[in-house]
Structure 1
Amino acid sequence: MTKSDLVAAIAEKAGIRKKDAEAALNAFLEVVTEALAKGDKVEIRGFGTFLMKERAPRVARNPRTGEKVEVPAKLTPAFKPGKDLKEATEKELKKKRK
């Protein structure tokens, strides 16, 4: 599903114009991005939590030269699904497998 597909689905479910749905989605994405950049987490009960996770430093290998490269530790955005989301997706997957 692309962003435009998501906008169309939100507009249909909410009974609003696509333009309004896109504005709401863009605002949501901006708020989440700003919160993560400040080091906060965004928790939506039942859906999940957006947070920053630290990746440990590691040694990687350049595939072209085979040379070892030090990759420093860094923070990266992550999503942890909530219980309700896990249950709903699991239920849908079971339906599709039958």
Structure 2
Amino acid sequence: MVKADLIARTMEAATLEGPVARKAVEALFESLYAALQRGDRVVLRRFGVFRAVPRRTGIARNLRQGEAVGVLRGRVVRFRPAPGLLDTTTAR
């Protein structure tokens, strides 16, 4: 699924016109992006939790060439799925 699919489904589910649905989806993504940049946790009930966590400086390996690659310090986004979402995507 890509952003265009999300916009189309938003149009259908909320009976919105195309530009309004596009604006709603864009606003959602901009809000998520801004919250993660601030370091906030983003909790979406029944879906999961997004959070930005620090990444240490270190050395990684390029598996194709086998050479060492430097990894810079920064933040990366982690996602933890909600139990209900996890149950629907994995077979037990």
One fold, TM greater than 0.5? Answer: yes
In 2, distance between residues paired with 1:17 and 1:88?
Answer: 31
Give the number of the structure whose residues are more often helix, by fraction. 1
- 5 Å-filtered alignment, 1:1-98, equals 1-61=1-61, 66=67, 68-90=68-90
Task: Extract unaligned runs of 5+ from structure 2.
Answer: none
Report the TM-score, using the length of structure 1 for normalisation. 0.74
- Structure with bigger gyration radius: 1
The secondary structure found in structure 1 opposite 2:31 is helix
Let me know the Cα RMSD of the aligned residues. Answer: 2.4
Cα distance change of structure 1 residues 21 and 64 upon mapping to structure 2, 3 Å threshold: same
Report the TM-score, using the length of structure 2 for normalisation. 0.78
Cα distance change of structure 1 residues 64 and 85 upon mapping to structure 2, 3 Å threshold: closer
Percent of pairs identical after alignment?
A: 33
Task: Extract unaligned runs of 5+ from structure 1.
Answer: none
Aligned residues: 91
Cα distance change of structure 1 residues 87 and 69 upon mapping to structure 2, 3 Å threshold: closer
